Amino acid sequence: MLTHLLSAISVAVAQAGNGSSSSSGMTSGSGNNIAFAALIWWVIPAGAVIGAIVYVVWVSKFQDKYSNETNRSVNNFNRFQASFRDPKEPPQG
């Protein structure tokens, strides 16, 4: 599906560049449009890789903060659950 979308984008870019409305897409006279369409195939994956690297750096920067809050939350939930358990020794009285 992504391949079809990207090929449709490259055909639309080629048509917009040479002003044609034919559905044949790129013709032999549209060398610059072919180069631009090929460039899109490099820009999109490069943008995805850069975005993934930025995301990993961002997550690793804040990982300690979130894991500390998670441990605190889990400990509070365990204490909450323990408050509903029966005591091991019944109170004498």
| pLDDT the model gives residue 56 | 93
The answer to whether residue 49 is domain-embedded is: yes
Tokens of 50: 């850069």
The answer to whether residue 88 is domain-embedded is: no
Helix or strand (DSSP H, E) at 84: none
Model confidence over 30-52: pLDDT tens digits?
667 888 888 889 999 999 999 99
| pLDDT the model gives residue 21 | 47
The answer to whether residue 87 is domain-embedded is: no
The answer to whether residue 56 is domain-embedded is: yes
Number of domains in the chain: 1
Three-class DSSP category at 90: coil
Three-class DSSP category at 20: coil
The answer to whether residue 93 is domain-embedded is: no
Better-predicted residue by pLDDT, 11 or 38: 38
The answer to whether residue 57 is domain-embedded is: yes
pTM listed for this prediction: 0.40
Model confidence over 60-83: pLDDT tens digits?
887 777 667 777 888 888 889 888
The answer to whether residue 39 is domain-embedded is: yes
- The amino acid occupying position 40 is I
Question: By residue range, what is the domain housing residue 34?
Answer: 2-82
The answer to whether residue 89 is domain-embedded is: no
